[in-house]
Structures are given as C-alpha cells and as structure tokens.
C-alpha cells in the first residue's frame, strides 16, 4: 500500500511540474542522468526507461521519503490496481477544478485573445495542453486522430496549447501530428487561467461550450477516453469499449462511498452506490462495481453482490484474479456456483489483455 501511495504522489509531483521546464529556446529540458533502478535492483538508463514510462505501463516511484538521502528512484510496473488509483486521482484532480467542471460553461476569454472570436462559433472545441517534451503524446495523438476524421473544419476546433514557441511545437508535430491542430504558443497565461498544473491535459466542449470531458495523464486509456467522447458526440459508440462521461455528482458520490468503504461502513457505502447507479443509469467506474459488490457481500446480499461482480467482470473487463480471490468480503460467495463463472471471466479478461499487449 505504501508503494502504491508513493507511486500516486510521485505521479502527482511529476505532473504538477508539467513534466519538464522550458529551456531558453522553448524546448523542454529533462534530466537524462537521473539514476533509476528497476525492481530487481539493476540501474536502468534513460533511453530504456523513457520508453517504458511513455507506454503508460510504468512509473518512477520512490523507495522512501524523496527528501531523505539514500532514497532511490524505482522503475515500477503498474498493476491494474495502481492504474485504477492513478486514473481516479487524475480524473478527480482536474474534473473538480473550478473553471473546468464537467457540464459547466467553458470560459473562452483567454482563447479569444489569441484567436478570432468567431473562430469558435457553433463548433466542438478540443483543447490539448501539452509541451514538446511529452514523450507519449505523439502515440496518444495518433489514437485521437482516428476520431477527428468524422469532423470537418466547420464543426471542430483543435487547439494545441503549449508554453513552447509555435516553431518548436510545429517541429514536433511534423513527426507525430495532431490532425488539424491550431498551435497556441507561449501560452502559460492560458494554462494558468484554467488552473491546469498537470500535462498533457485534454478538455472537450460541445457546440454550446458545455464542458463534456476533462482529464490529464499519459497512456492509451486516456487517449481512448478522449477518442470515445469525441465519437459519442457524433453519435458513434465504438464496439467493445465501455465509456462513460462522469459528471460532478457521480464523482462526489463515488469519492464518498470509497471513504465509507475504508471506514468499514458497508451499509452506508452500499446505499451511496445505489444512489450513484440510479443517477448514472446503471453505469459506473470499475471500482464502483467492485466496491458495491464487496459492500453487499459483506452485508449478506448475495444477489446484489453477484450482480455488481458481473458488471465489473463483463462490462469493465476486471482482470485482477488475485485481488478478487483474496477479498475477505467475497469469502461467502465462493460456495456459490456463480463464483466460478466470475473467476473464469476475469481469467479470460487477463488473457485477452496479455494477448493485446503482445500484438501492440
């Protein structure tokens, strides 16, 4: 648990620094001499660990208090639980931000100062806050580009907002483009106006300037979220991929239920999850389904426990069999024949994920 928390906090620290700092020429500077160890204690050099971090599967964490001498930087492969916690931290961090709350109106004042006012009229707006030093952004852009093809220039505005110069940003985009992007350079004031401290960050507003999505972080899952929201706004929902744009009430209920679970207040947590699913028309995060199943299992409601476990396994493709088998609240479920069906599905999810990783 301690290492997981260190991972989250080191992630937050990295993103809070916006990954890197612009040098005098606008290009981002990165410490390529940093000593990083893998989990077996071997020193990993920058060219190797930068690609692993860019994949979204690894993160550099600390072996202890980063302020104390002797603390090592450890290259840690993220478990599914780590990724879930990281996603929840990232989602909550920016989705609760003042001027970028979901379903609120986007204030385009700083954008209007950089671009003509009628540039945004009746168009979907995709704002990407990034910098040329983002190692993984190019691969994320490639994924997002597949959704941009459904939009014409009269229906979508794509803004790449960066603190680097337009020239430096354009140089990077020639290698890994973000289609039809308009570069807004030296735009620290815009980033600060919106209160964004983590990069890359993505904000989508519809034709009425209602914010439909915001989030930050690297990796395929973040790119898929952006892509799917864009597709959903055009009436296309990709086959085989579960999506949900969470509003403020959903997030508040989810966070409240998690706190109650940690305090072993399972009855209160179960009731909160019921309210959450009613509000979201049955949809939820993977952890919502898993925790709801755990709470109801603890309370002895086997039917509801299996219902939510089924949602976690089938809908959100839960794949951590070890965590599932070691969950104390599920001990009462293991004598039920439905338990094997759940574990079989989780095993299939894990194998499918492993095969997908091999192909990519």
313: CATH: 1.25.40
Q: How far apart are CA 90 and CA 12, in angstroms?
A: 8
Q: Which residue among 47, 78, 109 closes a domain?
A: 78
Q: In 3D, which of 59, 102, 100 has the Cα closest to residue 83? A: 59
Record the tokens describing residue 278, joined without a space. 């009613």
Query: Based on the domain organization, do 42 and 62 belong to the same domain?
Result: yes
Of 60-64, 98-102, 141-145, give the range with the top mean pLDDT: 141-145
Assess whether pLDDT exceeds 50 at residue 260.
yes
Domain contains 19: yes
Q: CB atoms < 10 A from the CB of 11, how many?
A: 22
Residue 66: predicted pLDDT: 58
Residue 211 scores a pLDDT above 50? yes
**Residue from 303, 304, 247 nearest 276 by CA:** 247
pLDDT bin (cut points 50, 70, 90) of residue 118 is: low
pTM (predicted TM-score) = 0.47
Q: Can you give the pLDDT at residue 89? A: 53
E strands along the chain, which residues? 21-22, 28-29, 36-37, 43-44, 58-62, 73-77, 124-129, 156-161, 181-184, 201-205, 211-216
Mean pLDDT of the chain: 77
Q: Which residue has tokens 């009731």? A: 271
User: Using an 8 Å Cβ cutoff, are 227 and 149 in contact?
Assistant: no
| Whether residues 189 and 295 fall in one domain | no
Looking at the predicted structure, is the pLDDT value of residue 173 above 70? yes
Domain count, the chain: 3
180-190 pLDDT tens trace: 888 888 888 88
pLDDT of residue 247: 54
Position with higher pLDDT, 336 vs 166: 336
Closest Cα to residue 127, out of 168, 158, 87, 83? 158
Q: Are residues 273 and 205 in the same domain?
A: no
Domain boundary among 168, 202, 233: 233
pLDDT exceeds cutoff 60 at 13: no
Q: Is residue 106 part of a domain?
A: yes
Closest by Cα among 100, 87, 88, 98 to 203: 100
What is the Cα–Cα distance from 120 to 118, expressed in whole angstroms? Answer: 5
∠ CA 199-200-202, rounded to 5°: 120
Q: Name the residue with higher pLDDT: 65 or 142.
A: 142
> Cα separations (Å) of 159 from 33, 124, 130, 295?
33, 11, 10, 44
pLDDT, average across residues 305-334: 91
Q: Would residue 238 count as lying in a domain?
A: no
Pick 208 or 63 by higher pLDDT: 208
Least confident of 37-41, 81-85, 173-177: 81-85
In a shared domain, residues 175 and 305: no
Label residue 224 exposed, middle or buried (CB < 10 Å: 0-12, 13-18, 19+): middle
The verdict on residue 161 lying in a domain is yes
Condensed to tens digits (0 to 9), the pLDDT of residues 32-76 reads: 677 888 888 888 887 887 777 766 677 777 777 655 677 788 888
Name the band, by pLDDT with cuts 50, 70 and 90, for residue 26: very low
Q: Which residue has the higher pLDDT, 246 or 228?
A: 228
Instruction: Report pLDDT for 244.
Output: 42
Tokens coding 313 = 């396994």
Question: What's the CA gap between 360 and 356, in Å, rounded?
Answer: 6
Q: Are residues 144 and 210 in the same domain?
A: yes
Structure tokens at 209: 């300037």
């Amino acid at each position: 648990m301690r290492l997981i928390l260190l991972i989250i906090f080191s992630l937050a620290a990295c993103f809070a620094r916006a990954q890197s700092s612009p040098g005098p020429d606008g290009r981002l500077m990165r410490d390529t001499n940093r000593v990083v160890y893998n989990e077996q204690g071997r020193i990993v050099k920058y060219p190797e660990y930068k690609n692993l971090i860019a994949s979204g599967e690894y993160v550099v964490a600390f072996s202890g208090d980063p302020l104390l001498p002797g603390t090592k930087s450890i290259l840690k492969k993220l478990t599914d639980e780590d990724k879930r916690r990281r996603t929840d931290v990232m989602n909550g961090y920016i989705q609760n931000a003042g001027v970028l709350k979901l379903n609120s109106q986007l204030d385009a004042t700083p954008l209007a100062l950089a671009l003509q006012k009628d540039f945004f009229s009746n168009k979907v707006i995709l704002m990407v806050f990034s910098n040329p030093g983002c190692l993984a952004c190019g691969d994320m852009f490639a994924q997002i580009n597949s959704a941009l093809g459904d939009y014409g220039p009269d229906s979508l505005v794509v803004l790449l907002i960066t603190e680097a110069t337009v020239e430096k940003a354009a140089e990077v985009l020639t290698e890994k483009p973000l289609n039809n992007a308009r570069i807004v350079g030296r735009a620290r004031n815009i980033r600060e106006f919106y209160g964004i401290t983590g990069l890359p960050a993505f904000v989508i507003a519809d034709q009425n300037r209602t914010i439909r999505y915001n989030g930050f972080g690297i990796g395929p899952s973040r790119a898929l979220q952006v892509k799917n929201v864009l597709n959903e706004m055009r009436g296309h929902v990709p086959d085989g991929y579960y999506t949900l744009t969470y509003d403020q009430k959903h997030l508040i209920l989810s966070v409240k239920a998690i706190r109650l679970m940690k305090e072993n207040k399972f009855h209160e947590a179960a009731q909160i999850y019921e309210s959450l699913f009613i509000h979201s028309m049955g949809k939820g995060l993977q952890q919502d389904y898993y925790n709801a199943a755990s709470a109801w299992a603890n309370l002895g409601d086997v039917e509801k426990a299996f219902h939510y476990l089924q949602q976690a396994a089938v809908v959100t493709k839960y794949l951590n069999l070890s965590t599932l088998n070691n969950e104390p609240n599920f001990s009462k479920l293991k004598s039920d024949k439905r338990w094997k069906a759940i574990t079989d599905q989780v095993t299939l999810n894990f194998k499918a994920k492993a095969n997908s990783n091999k192909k990519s």
